Amino acid sequence: MVELKITNMKKSFGDKFSLQNINLTLKSGDLFVYIGPNGAGKTTTVRCLLNLYKLDNGSIYYQKNKKPLKREKIGFVLEKEKPYDELTSIEYLSLFGNIYGVKGINEKIKEVLKNVNLNEDKNKRIKSFSKGMKKKLILAKALISEPNILILDEPLEGLEVETRREIKDILKEEVLKGSIIFITTHNLFEAENFCNIFGIIDNGKLLGKWDISDLDCSLEEFYLNRKKNEIV
């Protein structure tokens, strides 16, 4: 059993913005979508989860079978992350595979390139890739260490339908293996037709966590009503 537990997480940037006591627990098989408008705190949360920002308060705990999870078992894709254009796919994945200490790296690279449908392009320079191909390669980087948790900031933004479907299918397979997936988006339609668990963040405050199957209306309607109730 894999678990991600956030307790009383706070992060402030002067008077401009702050995350306010975020509490959230996710477990194996959760495909969690973190939704909210631009500037709500989605990317700040991701950067806190990856220890890129130092918390003002609270804690973040990753575990597998009640033992602390190794950092290399947490895969990630940052918002607007770009691969290194002058490398080939194999060189790029070799770099990160070695950083993570992946064993049998050559076979693992073949496996992940096949999974993201980039095997035929493995020796091409990344600068020749389309936006969708680069997104898939970055996802392959996140998968190279066989992570138990994937944290992905806007991984589907700006992609054509075919590539979005490919990436969603890959992520669903990871969930079936028992992984936790944490995705940010402001696309409610995408979230409704993809996740099994979702949370709403607004102005740095987590309004709650819900099971998508429990909704008796569209996610858009639920979201707007929940925000309206919060304002009232």
At the second CATH level, the architecture of 1-69+150-155+180-232 is 3-Layer(aba) Sandwich (3.40)
Looking at this protein, which amino acid is placed at residue 211?
Answer: D
Residue 122 has pLDDT above 70, yes or no: yes
Arithmetic mean of pLDDT, 115-138: 94
Q: How many secondary structure helices (H) and strands (E) does the chain include? A: 7, 10
pLDDT at 232 over 50: no
Q: Domain segments of the chain: what residues?
A: 1-69+150-155+180-232
Give the angle 207-208-211 at the CA atoms, nearest 5°.
145
14: left (phi over 0), alpha (psi -120 to 50) or beta: left
* pLDDT at residue 29 greater than cutoff 90: yes
pLDDT confidence band for 108 (50 / 70 / 90):
very high
Q: Across-strand partners of 77?
A: 152
Q: Is the model's pLDDT at 156 over the cut of 90?
A: no
Q: Give the model confidence (pLDDT) of 212-231 as tens digits.
A: 999 999 999 999 988 777 65
Are 23 and 209 a contacting pair, CB within 8 Å? no
Whole-angstrom distance, CA of residue 49 vs CA of residue 65: 20
Residue 45 has pLDDT above 60, yes or no: yes
Token pair recorded at residue 158: 């700006």
Question: What tokens does 175 get?
Answer: 């969930």
What confidence tens digit (pLDDT) does each residue in 164-192 have? 899 999 999 999 999 999 999 888 888 88
| pLDDT tens digits, 56-99 | 999 999 999 999 999 889 999 998 899 999 999 999 999 999 99
The helix-helix angle for 131-143 and 161-176 (nearest 10°) equals: 10
Q: Report the C-alpha gap between 2 and 102 in whole angstroms.
A: 20
Q: What is the pLDDT of residue 199?
A: 96
Mean of the per-residue pLDDT values for the chain?
A: 93
| E-assigned strand segments in 135-226 | 149-153, 180-185, 197-202, 205-211
pLDDT in tens, 130-150: 999 999 999 999 999 999 999
Question: So what's the pLDDT on residue 17?
Answer: 74
The 10 Å CB-count burial string (b at 16+, else e) for 166-177 is bbbebbeebbee
pTM above 0.85, yes or no: yes
**Per-residue model confidence (pLDDT) at position 39:** 87
